[in-house]
Every structure is written in structure tokens, then in C-alpha cells.
A and B are shown apart, each in its own frame.
Chain A
């Protein structure tokens, strides 16, 4: 035991001597570097809680999300798409802004599959979402109206959307076709359906309820203006590349 203590003392003395021998500037330099590095680390940690800068494309299967994704990224729909089995996740500069001289910040867009079995994938990306684009098929709208409204209702009542007030854009796709419905019509239909859903979902006992929040003002017919987060409706056409309203939304909500 004493031997050890002796050893340690001797080592201390040696270290002291060695430090004394170093030129003073070097010592100060090392101390300064260590200090600055630790300050930087602390700063980074505190200013990086959770980056929310993802734009999520969601919607029913077949509404045109993947085509929209590729239009935003490459400006063309390539050779077509099939039902997605996995999300498409990429960080890119919007195609229409590639030619601009000013430095534009790339956006992180995720296209989540719409198939009902793959719904849980949406929850993976929602915590970091800065905006959500709900793509609706304007051509084949009425047969899918109920299912689309249910999906939209589920999204609007998710905790992450309500708490963080994530803005939602309802994008009516396929408007290049003649028989596509107008966005006003779609908006009204969705509001009506969600109204009905509100009553039936809240009627279920609290043991069964899967929606975390309720929407709208009780007693009044539901309207998107009742939502705490901002819900807007716009039109687009994936095949022809008419996606300017979507891009506008993206630019608005992703800090440039």
C-alpha cells in the first residue's frame, strides 16, 4: 500500500516537472482549444433538439404521391410508378429552383406509401415533420371519399400534428383530367365526411377510442378553419408537372 502511494507521488512530481518544462504558450493553447471545443459541443447539443424539416407526402394508395415526389425532385415522372412498398426519402433542391442563381436550401421530402398495411410508416416521419401534404385523387374522388376522409381524420387527430400545429396542405391531384373535381367540391365533401366521423368516433367509449384528439367545435358543422393547425387546399397535376402550388407550400414552411 505504501509502496503504491510512493509510486503515485513520484509520478505526480514527474508530471509537474514535465509540465513546468513546457513553454507557457503551448500550455495556454491546449487549454484554450479544449475549452472552445467543449463550449461548441454544449452549444450544438442545446440548439439541436429535434430538427423538423421534413415535408411528408401522404394520401391514399393511387393518389399520385410517388409521381409528385419525382416531379418535385427531377421535374419528370420518368417511366411511371407502381404501388410503393417503401417510403421514398430524399433531400434535394426543388427541380424548378435548380436554375435559380441564388443558393436555395435543399428540402427533405418523404413519400409515405398509402397502402393501408403500411400506414404505420407514417408515424416514423411525423415527429420531424414541418409540413404535411395530403394528396387526394380528384379524378376518382367520390368512391374513395370515405376512406380518404378517414385517413385525413386520423392524421388531423394525431398528437404530433395537433401539438406542433403542423400545417397540412390538401392537394387535389390529377386536375389535368377533364372529369376531375374542383378543389372547392373536394373540400366541402371532406368537411362533411369528417363531420360525420366526428360524431361516430366520439360516440365510441373511451376504452376503444384510437383518436387522441377530437376535431372542431362541438355543435357546429366541421370546417377546416376549426383546426388548430393550418389546413389549406390546392390543386396540382402530377403527370403534367403542374406542381407550383405544392412547391409554394413547401417553400413557405421549410426555412430557406
Chain B
């Protein structure tokens, strides 16, 4: 069950909460979500897991309405895998955008609408679960016969439900479950799902991340059913983004479908949200009635054609109309519009030596924040995207806290403990050298320093530090080579608190990030001694390498 649902503005005011689910949340999941996810440019993930103090584990899902500046968040217990949350959020977003008014701050009438949407979503989820259970009970053999009529019944039942809903969410889970089907996947069901998915995708233009997709299957089925390259290419382009899945056994297709029958059904294919649903459905629809399958495929074919035409017409839109729209400023940004501009920006980031994964994530996050926004007048898409990207980068690069070492040292001094700084990094970046320079700087500010030689591996490391210490005239704690650095550091800190040094600078051996045992040794050192500051020394010339190093080091 859902714990809480919220709608709030980006400025922070809560516009609506679900009054029925009045459970008090433990901890502060929403604030944590905002701080650690949305503001960290991870808004493209869609899911966030929060562990509240007090053994409550929540999962949060959200969606944005970028034009109005609203955020819709749903919270539920992590152990429950609620599958209708995504579609519920999208439905809420659509409904709420009709009644939203910037001047208003109370939206009580939304309670009614929400209750309806919630019931529908739950009912659908229930149906799917029941079908799944019913489907599992059917025997494998002879399924084809049995599942024919039941399949039709299911489909009609499914369709009836769809009439009631007005949702445009992506049915990611559809493909997943058709995959899970034990080998007798019904192509009609796949086609059906694919058709619904496409129609939904067409309507809502939301290609949510397909977690799986028997889309190769669908693609092949379409190829056979239609036998036209045109559609195949459309399907391929459509499914190219989706993960390839294992091939499943295909049904035979007998000729072309009568198009007229399918056109009569204009119901909004509601989503079979819920993995259970799709699985069940596919289980039921064994070997389809040829007609059924053809209707389905033709329905999907219609949608394919429509999509193709749409694509064609959008291609014709081209330069002239986009120029008009940029001047008039009324076009709504779609993901497809953003893609080329984002790709260009991503390439630029990568040429500036930013790691590919990070650039990708950043672009996704910027896309999530721009989708659905209206273009201002006289602005091009590329300039809007660039502005958004700049803002996102500025946000990421703004330091969370200012590092004022002198202040921290004084604070530690007041508490009577030495301030411990550990220098880490890969080989040869200049840890020992910088350590000596930092020691000199601290000495200039009248802070007593002590060095700790915890690089017990490299020959000459201890002598190097000894020379530095002699030049600076500061004490050094050393234990020679081949000793455990964690123990050496611990004793060094004890020694420092004995002779009242303010700061302890700990030098460690250089290590590569993919060296597991060394990384473990480093984490042991850090956990045992709890330093106040861990300085990662890296070369300024190195870009991508730094990112590869960093996560492994921070993992410890």
C-alpha cells in the first residue's frame, strides 16, 4: 500500500497530500530525496530508496511537470513491489495539470479525482495478479486450445478496463513478463502488448525505460505478419533502444488481417501495469485464434502506421516550422527534440575529458527537467538545452561545504584531539610532496604538525618523509617498512595526542583503484582511525581516470 503521495512546487510549497493515507512517515524521506537525488542531477533515475532511522525502508518514485514546475512523489514500503505507481503518477500529473492555478494553494477537489484514479489503478493491478495466478494453474500442454477463448475473454476484460482509464504511461513491464513466459509466449499477446505499448507511447510519448521487452519477438512477429519492410524498419527503429531479449518461439501467421475490424476499437489501451498482468495474459493466450492475433497485429499495425505518418509529418516539419515555432514560442519540448541538442552537448563534455557515464547521466537529468516545458519566444531548442545544462553543471560543481582547514583545526584543538589528514591517490601523483607543502603552510599559521609515515611499501618512502621532517623541523612517526599502515597510523595519532601536536599528516602508499586488496587495506586504515579529512590527490591533467578512481575510493 502506498504510504504517502505528495504534490509540491519546485519552490517548496506542498499543494496536495493524500488525506486517506495519513500515515506518519518516519525520518524525512522527501527532504532526503530532494537533497541527495533531485539536486544532485539524478532526477532521471525515477526511483529512490530511503532507509529511515527506525527500520522503515521506503521507496520513492517521482515525476515532474516541467512546464508548471511541479513535482509528484509517491512513497511506499520497499518490501511491497507496487507496480501501478508509475501509471498512477502519470495519471495524477495529467489530471492535476488541468486544475492547477498558480494563485491557488489548496486543491481539495483533487481528493475525489485521486481516489478514482487510485481505485482504477489498484483494480487493474488486482486483475493482473489474479490473471497471473489463474494463468499459472493452466497446464503447459494443450494450452493453446484452452487459452484461446480465455485469452479473448482476458483481452476483452482488459479492454474494458482500459476504457475507464486515461493514462499515458509506458508499459515497461509488459515486455518483461511476456519474456518470463515459459516458452509458449503467445505472439498475439506480445503483439497486443506491443500494440498497446505503442499506442500508449504514441499518445503519451513516454518511452519509459523498458526493463525488458520481448521486442525482438514482436519485431519478428511484425515482420512476418505484415511482411513489409516499411513497418519492420519502424519497429526496428522503435525497438532499437530497447534491450534485446532472448528469442521466443513464434506462432505461425496466416495471411493478412482484415483491417476494418481493428479500426472499430479506439479504446485507450490502459496499461497492463504490473508484471504479473502481462505474464498472465501471455500465459493465457497460447496459440491465438488467428483472427485475434491478426486483429491485434493489425491494430498495432495501425498504430505503427500512424506513428510512421506522424514521424513523416514531423520530418516534413523541418526547418521552416521549427523556425516559426521558436519565434512564436508555443511549442512544447519533447524528448525527441531534445535528443540532438543533448547528444551534441554530451559529445562536447566527453571531448573535455568527462567520463561517458557521467555525461550520459547528466544529459538524462537535463532531459528530465526540460521535458514538457514550453519554449520561450525567440529561443531555439539548443539554447534552452544549453542554459539548462549550464545550470545543472553549476549546481553540481557548487561545493557543499567550504573547506576551512584552519577553522577545523582550531575546533579540534579545543576538543583536545589532533586533526588527522590522510593523503590518498594513485601512484606518482605527488602525495608525499604535497604533504610536505601542506605541513609547511600549517607551520606558517602557527600550528604544530606531525608526520606519519604509513607508506610502508615503497622503498625510500620513509626516508623521504624523514628528510622532509628534518627540513621542517617537525616530529615524524615511523615504523619502518612492511608494517600494517593502519596500525602505524593509529599509533601515530596516539603519539600526537601525547606530545600535543595539532595536526597529523598521514602519508599512504599509492595504489590503483582496481587493486582490491590494496583498496581494502586503505578502507581498513580509514575505518580504524577515522580521519577528519581524507585528501585525494590527483593529477589535474587527468579527467576520466579521476572518476574511475574516485568511486572505488569513496566506496570504502
Q: Does A253 touch B at the CB level, under 8 Å?
A: no
Verify A86–B400 contact, CB threshold 8 A. Answer: no
Query: Which chain B residue lies CB-closest to A113?
Result: B12
Closest CB in chain A relative to B370 CB, distance in Å: 14
Closest CB in chain A relative to B345 CB, distance in Å: 20
Separation of A137 and B39 alpha carbons in the complex (Å):
22
Q: Does A88 touch B at the CB level, under 8 Å?
A: yes
A-contact 0/1 string along B8-29, CB 8 Å cutoff: 1011111111000000000000
CB contacts under 8 Å to B, within A24-41, are none
Separation of A190 and B95 alpha carbons in the complex (Å):
48
**5 chain-A/chain-B pairs, Cβ below 8 angstroms:** A61-B35, A115-B39, A118-B398, A150-B402, A196-B407
CB contacts under 8 Å to B, within A71-115, are 74, 78-88, 111, 113, 115
B31 touches which of A83, A111, A150 (Cβ 8 Å): A83
Verify B395–A86 contact, CB threshold 8 A. Answer: no
Q: Does A3 touch B at the CB level, under 8 Å?
A: no
Verify A83–B35 contact, CB threshold 8 A. Answer: yes
Query: Which one of A46-54, A170-178, A200-208 is at the interface?
Result: A200-208
Closest CB in chain A relative to B398 CB, distance in Å: 5
Separation of A147 and B410 alpha carbons in the complex (Å):
15
Q: What 9 new A-B contacts, CB under 8 Å, besides A113-B12, A200-B404?
A: A70-B105, A78-B106, A79-B105, A86-B11, A88-B13, A116-B398, A117-B40, A118-B395, A196-B407
Closest CB in chain A relative to B24 CB, distance in Å: 13
A-contact 0/1 string along B407-437, CB 8 Å cutoff: 1001100000000000000000000000000
Verify A200–B410 contact, CB threshold 8 A. Answer: yes
Verify B402–A82 contact, CB threshold 8 A. Answer: no
Cβ of A233: which chain B residues have Cβ within 8 Å of it? none
Cβ of A120: which chain B residues have Cβ within 8 Å of it? 394, 398
Verify A85–B399 contact, CB threshold 8 A. Answer: no
Separation of A147 and B399 alpha carbons in the complex (Å):
13
A203 touches which of B15, B411, B445 (Cβ 8 Å): B445
Q: Which 7 residue pairs across A and B have the least CB separation, nearest first?
A: A84-B12, A200-B406, A88-B11, A66-B12, A86-B10, A83-B34, A200-B407
Cβ of A74: which chain B residues have Cβ within 8 Å of it? 105
Closest CB in chain B relative to A124 CB, distance in Å: 11
Separation of A42 and B92 alpha carbons in the complex (Å):
52
State how many residues of chain B have any CB contact under 8 Å with chain A: 34
Verify A197–B14 contact, CB threshold 8 A. Answer: no
Closest CB in chain A relative to B183 CB, distance in Å: 48
Verify B106–A82 contact, CB threshold 8 A. Answer: no
Verify B10–A85 contact, CB threshold 8 A. Answer: yes
Q: Does B401 touch A at the CB level, under 8 Å?
A: yes
Separation of A130 and B374 alpha carbons in the complex (Å):
33
Verify A82–B14 contact, CB threshold 8 A. Answer: yes
Closest CB in chain A relative to B393 CB, distance in Å: 11
Cβ of A82: which chain B residues have Cβ within 8 Å of it? 6, 8, 12, 14, 30-31, 34
Query: Which chain B residue lies CB-closest to A61?
Result: B35
Separation of A134 and B11 alpha carbons in the complex (Å):
18
Cβ of A88: which chain B residues have Cβ within 8 Å of it? 11-13
Closest CB in chain B relative to A238 CB, distance in Å: 13
B-contact 0/1 string along A156-196, CB 8 Å cutoff: 00000000000000000000000000000000000000001
Verify B407–A197 contact, CB threshold 8 A. Answer: yes
Verify A80–B39 contact, CB threshold 8 A. Answer: no
Separation of A61 and B28 alpha carbons in the complex (Å):
14
CB contacts under 8 Å to A, within B316-345, are none
**Residues A84 and B39 in contact in the complex (CB < 8 Å), given A74-B105, A116-B400, A147-B401:** no
Is the contact region of chain B dominated by helix, strand, or loop, or is it mixed? mixed
Cβ of A115: which chain B residues have Cβ within 8 Å of it? 34-35, 39
Q: Does B69 touch A at the CB level, under 8 Å?
A: yes
Query: Which chain A residue lies CB-closest to B30?
Result: A82
CB contacts under 8 Å to B, within A131-165, are 146-147, 150
Question: Which of B105, B399, B407 has the most chain A CB atoms inside 10 A of its CB?
Answer: B407
Cβ of B11: which chain A residues have Cβ within 8 Å of it? 66, 84-88, 111
Query: Which chain B residue lies CB-closest to A78?
Result: B105
Query: Which chain A residue lies CB-closest to B399?
Result: A116
Verify B400–A203 contact, CB threshold 8 A. Answer: no
Verify A78–B14 contact, CB threshold 8 A. Answer: yes
Query: Which chain B residue lies CB-closest to A76?
Result: B105
**Residues A70 and B13 in contact in the complex (CB < 8 Å), given A83-B31, A203-B445:** yes
Q: Does B38 touch A at the CB level, under 8 Å?
A: yes
Separation of A146 and B410 alpha carbons in the complex (Å):
13
Verify A118–B39 contact, CB threshold 8 A. Answer: yes
Cβ of A119: which chain B residues have Cβ within 8 Å of it? 398
Query: Which chain A residue lies CB-closest to B19?
Result: A79
Verify A79–B12 contact, CB threshold 8 A. Answer: no
Closest CB in chain A relative to B72 CB, distance in Å: 12
Verify A85–B404 contact, CB threshold 8 A. Answer: no
Query: Which chain A residue lies CB-closest to B405?
Result: A200
Cβ of A83: which chain B residues have Cβ within 8 Å of it? 12, 30-31, 34-35
Query: Which chain A residue lies CB-closest to B38?
Result: A85
Query: Which chain B residue lies CB-closest to A81?
Result: B12
Closest CB in chain A relative to B447 CB, distance in Å: 10
Closest CB in chain B relative to A62 CB, distance in Å: 8
Separation of A62 and B13 alpha carbons in the complex (Å):
13
Separation of A146 and B414 alpha carbons in the complex (Å):
14
**Residues A66 and B401 in contact in the complex (CB < 8 Å), given A115-B35, A196-B410, A203-B406:** no
Closest CB in chain B relative to A119 CB, distance in Å: 6
Query: Which chain A residue lies CB-closest to B69?
Result: A86
Cβ of B13: which chain A residues have Cβ within 8 Å of it? 66, 70, 78-79, 81, 88
Closest CB in chain B relative to A239 CB, distance in Å: 14
Closest CB in chain B relative to A189 CB, distance in Å: 14
Separation of A84 and B34 alpha carbons in the complex (Å):
8
Separation of A80 and B35 alpha carbons in the complex (Å):
17
Cβ of B105: which chain A residues have Cβ within 8 Å of it? 70, 74, 78-79
